[in-house]
Amino acid sequence: MAARRISSLLSRSLSAPSAPSASTPLLLSRGKNPGRGRGVCSYTQHLINGQFVDAASGKTFPTHDPRTGEVIAHVAEGDAEDVNRAVAAARKAFDEGPWPKMSAYERSLIMLRFADLVDKHRGELAALESWNSGKPYEQSAKSELPSFARLFRYYAGWADKIHGLTVPADGNHHVQTLHEPIGVAGQIIPWNFPLIMFAWKVGPALACGNTIVLKSAEQTPLTALYAAKLFQEAGLPPGVLNVVSGYGPSAGAALACHMDVDKIAFTGSTETGKIILELAAKSNLKAVTLELGGKSPFIVCEDADVDKAVELAHFALFFNQGQCCCAGSRTYVHERVYDEFVEKAKARALRRVVGDPFKKGVEQGPQIDSEQFEKILRYIKSGVESNATLECGGQRFGSKGYFIQPTVFSNVQDDMLIAKDEIFGPVQSILKFKNIDEVIQRANTTRYGLAAGIFTKNVDTANTLSRALRVGSVWVNCFDVFDAAIPFGGYKMSGIGREKGIYSLHNYLQVKAVVTPLKNPAWL
């Protein structure tokens, strides 16, 4: 994504607020103003060492409403100097401050208080998330915010359960392993799920006793700053969590190559992930975890209930405007049910409700920005020029904002760009296959390996495919199931390491072996 690659690229019923206007101040809470007399959009400065501060340069950048392209607010534009200040604060908080020296139980209590505050301000956070990203408010309020709070309660539960082992050794020695926090963690999150990615990164890092410098995506900086303010209210000490907003080549690169950052975690595109890895290696060889792109197969077998398979494949692709790294973007359908599936997939796409994400019943909002909008339209044009059959969609929806019609292609071949590249938009590509061996080979012929979906009634088929597909997650007769305890990450060029669950803790810990001689031990 050219100049912005580094930050490009996861219930209770709530009534959606009136759609906010980008031209007037926002008081979404209707009397429950989280800003203590200021608007919910008040937090537009960096958070460094417990204080909201302007960028060192004084620069700001606009963040936009993707429904209209209008400016929501101007946000502090961070660069290397802001990152230096944030890292210095995090370093001091780790080396001298209370966080890693605090008991694990005390750390867990602060995280639990934060989760309670998230519940209290769920409506404001959900509205701000939808306003800045374009996703349906009902999705934000009923799915993502409960998940956000749940993730922090999950990691709070881990805080006092992180421990090492005693290890038997040959000879008279006592051996123990210590699991220690890694230090200052740099974290770069994407724009498609700003709050969920905040939780995936910040939760395990805090549970392990680390301090953090987080760079938000320049497209969606607002909810990370708001969440950081709630952490302050929960009692998180100054300098433990620092948030810098800004662009990838300036703020993101400065964080990735900083000599005093001990670990970098990034979620975004594979191309940017390579840059992050290179910067980390050329600086202090800091530890790196990467959650990157995908081109996930969704395999509909010949025994499938076609109606159910169509609905699940539709969800797997179109959820969040198609802006999911694990979207089921290669829909492989067995030849015996292919024609029926295509017709029903087309009909389902035509029924998809596109519009203002604050309106009840809307399933699809706008794409994130003009750059992504134009990129998706170029891929649609490529599909038409490659002689794939455009079943429906393919055009802009409406006359303003970044809305795209739900688009379905049939007769897609594996060598077409729409079957190879990560489109990151509402474009379903349907391919035909003959047998299991063939679809395994074709599904694995990709540089990605993030996820896969399987739709079948046959347990043997499900087991065969689950073990053969070279991906980090396999969903059988379901898709996009993201429990806090379920690990997530990719094979091949879809990333390094795992998010969520016990595996995410490994990213933020060092293992130290301590060996002590024993004199006349009673036992070994």
pLDDT digits (tens, 9 = 90+) for 295-310: 999 999 999 999 999 9
Helix, strand, coil shares, percent, the chain, to 5: 40, 20, 40
What pLDDT digit, counting tens, does each position of 213-225 carry?
999 999 999 999 9
Q: 46-292, what's its fold? A: Aldehyde Dehydrogenase; Chain A, domain 1 (3.40.605)
Instruction: With cut-offs at 50, 70 and 90, classify the pLDDT of residue 392.
Output: very high
Instruction: With cut-offs at 50, 70 and 90, classify the pLDDT of residue 524.
Output: confident
Q: What is the pLDDT averaged over residues 280-290?
A: 98
- Residue 39: what pLDDT? 47
Q: How far apart are CA 56 and CA 403, in angstroms?
A: 36
Q: What is the pLDDT averaged over residues 123-140?
A: 97
What pLDDT digit, counting tens, does each position of 470-517 carry?
999 999 999 999 999 999 999 999 999 999 999 999 999 999 999 999
- 3-class DSSP string for 193-252: CHHHHHHHHHHHHHHCCCEEEEECCCCCCHHHHHHHHHHHHHCCCCCCEEEECECHHHHH
Q: Annotated catalytic residue: which of 77, 124, 129, 291? A: 291
pTM above 0.85, yes or no: yes
- Residue 118: what pLDDT? 98
> Does residue 59 surpass a pLDDT of 60?
yes
What pLDDT digit, counting tens, does each position of 440-454 carry?
999 999 999 999 999
- Residue 352: what pLDDT? 98
Q: What is the pLDDT averaged over residues 66-85?
A: 97
Q: Is 278 a catalytic residue?
A: no
Pick the CATH number of 297-492 from 3.40.50.450, 3.30.40.10, 3.40.309.10, 2.40.110.10: 3.40.309.10
- Residue 40: what pLDDT? 55
User: Please, what is the average pLDDT of the chain?
Assistant: 93
Instruction: With cut-offs at 50, 70 and 90, classify the pLDDT of residue 20.
Output: low
- Identify the three-state secondary structure at position 278: helix
- Residue 23: what pLDDT? 37
- For residues 70 and 30, is the Cβ–Cβ distance under 8 A? no
- Residue 3: what pLDDT? 34
- Residue 6: what pLDDT? 32
> Does residue 464 surpass a pLDDT of 80?
yes
Instruction: With cut-offs at 50, 70 and 90, classify the pLDDT of residue 42.
Output: confident
Q: Token match 């290397």: residue?
A: 80
- All structural domains of the chain with their residue ranges: 46-292, 297-492
Q: What is the pLDDT averaged over residues 389-395?
A: 98
Q: What is the pLDDT averaged over residues 130-140?
A: 97
Q: What is the pLDDT averaged over residues 164-183?
A: 96
> Does residue 15 surpass a pLDDT of 90?
no
* First-to-last C-alpha distance (Å) of the chain: 59
Instruction: With cut-offs at 50, 70 and 90, classify the pLDDT of residue 342.
Output: very high
What does the DSSP 8-state code read for residue 491? S
